[in-house]
Structure 1
């Protein structure tokens, strides 16, 4: 009788302590979530953690729809998104899992190595159209942006453009990988990506947000005395009622080992 009762109780607990979890959202957070999930599943063979991208807005929309357990996001959840969840009797929990430096990248042949915030604004608003205006080659500037559902798109608009609109007709890319590929193949191109995506096929620019007095490179965020100006938190969002099933994986991500993976991937640790 006790054995039967135990099986019945276990049957009620299993849906709450699900060993299968879905993570969806930000392309910036994607390599971090994938690596954390990979190592976690090696340590816990009974667990399955599925990770997909699509953009921060896509992840939060999936949380609203109930089609993901965790929304990974490179921006904070919006007021209206939070309200929609509240209206559905879903209390959302926010956890910072790391920090990311947003790198401004160009084709590696570009002789321009440094830009100020004002110059960035001029480029992405369409006011500066040729690299010779900045002391470079007589070459048309081709700015690449992420699509509007991307948290990276919104963060760059907030930090570099001071909430001003991007130029009309800007090249809008659906994923970070496509930004990297396009810029690596286009001599006049410029764009922005999460630091973990930077590779030798592109050049990361030094930036100044104090009018050219101090410049810093995103590749030196841990060692430079000058604070890199475009750094943002990376978030996991989940529904509070579902915390029991999510907590073991989340605890691993925030552990010393999980945070070392954050650093190994080129992100900045929470602690």
Structure 2
């Protein structure tokens, strides 16, 4: 009898322990589920975009959603972070998060394809092979899928004590291919040139290879390669023989050189030169998104990035925003008299209009810039006069160049009529003042552009 009582007692105790253990586990699971953040979306790709710019944009976006205590949570994986914030409501607090993985532009498209990312970050335009890969998600070259979020000038940097001030693209090609290997060959000190370059996954590298080396020239085998812009810049700053290329935001303490192309003047990546993409190594920074995605936060975030507030963050980080400003800029003394007079009496706006390849249609950025331009003039109350100046690439006859340049300017003017007041008759300068090498079939398309200048409307008094 006593044995049976002890056995019953042990069974009861076991049941109680099991019940308590189960309750604890269920409660812990509930607490864990409540604490698990809601992942709004994921960005992957370019280190140029994902290093500092994307985190800054995401943090401000979360604050706009009402999140508090927004902060960066580092990952154990290099170049990956989580942006975390807390939203408070009637049901208590809920953590929200956005993940950023910055391993190079090409990885962004691969992760988008694999379902590991919702937005691809890229420091170059998408390649045709990537468009094909992602075609089930929509046309990645379209206005709805391709989003230019900033303009960057690929900066050529050297040690602060280097005596050189400018280099041409052809000379840069000879340097980075290893053909020129001592600064003495360029009029500098007798010191070996040390090359620093981004790694193969980098959009910065893709841009440099495309704009400087070309398809047939390889990077010198002795070049040091880096995934991080900051690390590359630090190495150049510490190496008297060093030369490298980084985004503007990563120049740090290195010396910045002016760059020229064939038939163009040397210029540094100053704001107006980069914003208008006149600078020979100017490039666009992109976000790419899928069509018909069932995630409202993706569209909301993209709208925020392209807004005036989002573009101010772009500027604060060190890139060139697309918010339009007016700047005084002197023209070359060899310019036609009418253009010289215009530049002396007007200010240039920080936007050029470019067109899709082999097309008379504005490219995606140009279409968005039309909207920005309308907003800019809406705040001027009709007190500014607008002048549009068209340019073309080199053609067989100068008369044809003038016609093409005028046609481009008229295209922009027609888009603005009814939305912008006081538009002057367009000016056509043909192939004058190229900003890209007319000997390069692809590069010369950049010469087909339209500048925008503004001046005050004379008082009626």
TM-score class, shorter: 0.7 to 0.9
Q: 1:231 Cα deviation (Å)? A: 0.8
Higher-Rg structure is 2
Moved more, 122-131 or 36-45: 36-45
Q: 1:52 Cα deviation (Å)? A: 2.7
Specify which structure has the bigger relative contact order, considering alpha-carbon pairs within 8 angstroms and separated by 6 or more residues.
1
Question: What residue in structure 1 maps to residue 134 of structure 2?
Answer: 85
Question: What residue in structure 2 maps to residue 28 of structure 1?
Answer: 48
Q: 1:221 Cα deviation (Å)? A: 2.9
CA distance in 1, matches of 2:322, 2:291: 21
Question: What residue in structure 2 maps to residue 195 of structure 1?
Answer: 248
Contact residue 207 and residue 216 of structure 1 kept, 8 A: yes
Contact residue 273 and residue 279 of structure 2 kept, 8 A: no
CA distance in 1, matches of 2:63, 2:227: 31
Question: What residue in structure 1 maps to residue 177 of structure 2?
Answer: 125
Question: What residue in structure 2 maps to residue 245 of structure 1?
Answer: 297
Question: What residue in structure 1 maps to residue 23 of structure 2?
Answer: none
Contact residue 196 and residue 244 of structure 2 kept, 8 A: yes
CA distance in 1, matches of 2:148, 2:177: 31
Judged with a 3 Å threshold, the aligned counterparts in structure 2 of structure 1 residues 265 and 78 are, in CA distance, closer, same or farther, namely: same
Kindly provide the CA deviation profile for residues 56-92 of structure 1, in whole angstroms up to 9, marking residues without a partner as x. Answer: 0111111111111111001122222222223xx3224
Equivalent residue for 2:224, pick from 147, 157, 171: 171
CA distance in 1, matches of 2:273, 2:289: 33
CA distance in 2, matches of 1:172, 1:254: 32
Contact residue 277 and residue 283 of structure 2 kept, 8 A: no
- 1:55 and 2:104 are equivalent in the alignment: yes
Contact residue 221 and residue 228 of structure 1 kept, 8 A: no
TM-score normalized by the length of structure 2: 0.51
Question: What residue in structure 1 maps to residue 149 of structure 2?
Answer: 97
CA distance in 1, matches of 2:292, 2:286: 18
Contact residue 221 and residue 227 of structure 1 kept, 8 A: no
> Does the residue aligned with 2:213 lie in a helix, a strand or coil?
coil
TM-score normalized by the length of structure 1: 0.85
Contact residue 195 and residue 222 of structure 2 kept, 8 A: no
Q: 1:168 Cα deviation (Å)? A: 2.4
Divergent runs of 4+, >6 A = 223-226
Equivalent residue for 2:214, pick from 150, 162, 165: 162
Judged with a 3 Å threshold, the aligned counterparts in structure 2 of structure 1 residues 223 and 126 are, in CA distance, closer, same or farther, namely: closer
Kindly provide the CA deviation profile for residues 1-42 of structure 1, in whole angstroms up to 9, marking residues without a partner as x. Answer: xxxxxxxxxxxxxxxxx8611111111112221111111112
Question: What residue in structure 2 maps to residue 38 of structure 1?
Answer: 59
Question: What residue in structure 2 maps to residue 11 of structure 1?
Answer: none
- Consecutive unaligned residues of structure 1, counting only runs of 5 or more, are 1-17
Kindly provide the CA deviation profile for residues 229-266 of structure 1, in whole angstroms up to 9, marking residues without a partner as x. Answer: 11111110121132633011111111111111112222
Contact residue 47 and residue 227 of structure 2 kept, 8 A: no
Equivalent residue for 1:67, pick from 92, 116, 124: 116
- 1:181 and 2:228 are equivalent in the alignment: no
Kindly provide the CA deviation profile for residues 73-132 of structure 1, in whole angstroms up to 9, marking residues without a partner as x. Answer: 01122222222223xx32242111111111001111111121111110110011000000
Contact residue 119 and residue 289 of structure 2 kept, 8 A: yes
Kindly provide the CA deviation profile for residues 138-184 of structure 1, in whole angstroms up to 9, marking residues without a partner as x. Answer: 10001111111111111111112233321223211122122112112
Moved more, 67-76 or 41-50: 41-50
Question: What residue in structure 1 maps to residue 366 of structure 2?
Answer: none
| Cα RMSD (Å) | 2.1
- 1:235 and 2:286 are equivalent in the alignment: yes
CA distance in 1, matches of 2:39, 2:214: 43
Question: What residue in structure 2 maps to residue 8 of structure 1?
Answer: none
CA distance in 1, matches of 2:303, 2:271: 26
